[in-house]
Amino acid sequence: MIITISGAPGTGTTTLARGLSQALGIRWVNSGELFRKIASERGVSVKEMNRLAEKGPEIDYLIDDAQKALAKDGQGIFEGRLSGHLLPADLRVLLKTELRLRSERIAKRESKLSEDAIQETRAREESEARRYKMYYNIEIGDLSVYDLVVDTGKFDEAGTFSIVLAAARACQSQGQ
């Protein structure tokens, strides 16, 4: 079974993907970690890596190709902003919530001011939206590719996990 977990920074994609991976005994692939690893290998910040990625599709394509190769065996939880758009999946999930709450979560996790997190998150999302449109002709706000959209501002971690786990188990029982 392949499940994709997508969502903007601070929506809880990593928490959900990690939990599903453990509960279902399925490998978890995090495209954000792949992106951060490439940035680290190149000795640049994530912010600078976003700027470099806007200059050409090579960085994004590296991450995409890695995910596609790992998905060939038909198993995995794939976490990434474009995973739901790019991978064949049995269940495509999008997590969403408003910017202020996401920024508060990011600020807490990264020990920074909430206002700084808002500015950085907006800049990152604008960069990604430009790249996704330019390189893939994907409007990141188009939710039509997702089977399930969960507002993590309405549901806490446990609630979100329960909803998505139930959907994944339903897919498994239906042979998807």
Q: 156's torsion region: left (phi>0), alpha (psi -120 to 50) or beta?
A: beta
pTM of the predicted structure, to 2 decimals: 0.88
Cα separation, 162 vs 157, whole angstroms: 9
Give the per-residue pLDDT at 176: 54
Listing from the earlier edge strand, what are the strands of the sheet with 28-30? 28-30, 76-79, 2-7, 91-96, 148-151
The residue ranges of the chain whose pLDDT is under 50 are none
Angle subtended at Cα 141 by Cα 31 and Cα 160, rounded to the nearest 5 degrees:
65
139-171: per-residue pLDDT in tens? 988 999 999 999 999 999 999 999 999 999 999
CATH class of 2-97+144-173: alpha beta
Per domain, the residue ranges of the chain are 2-97+144-173
Single-letter code of the amino acid located at 168: A
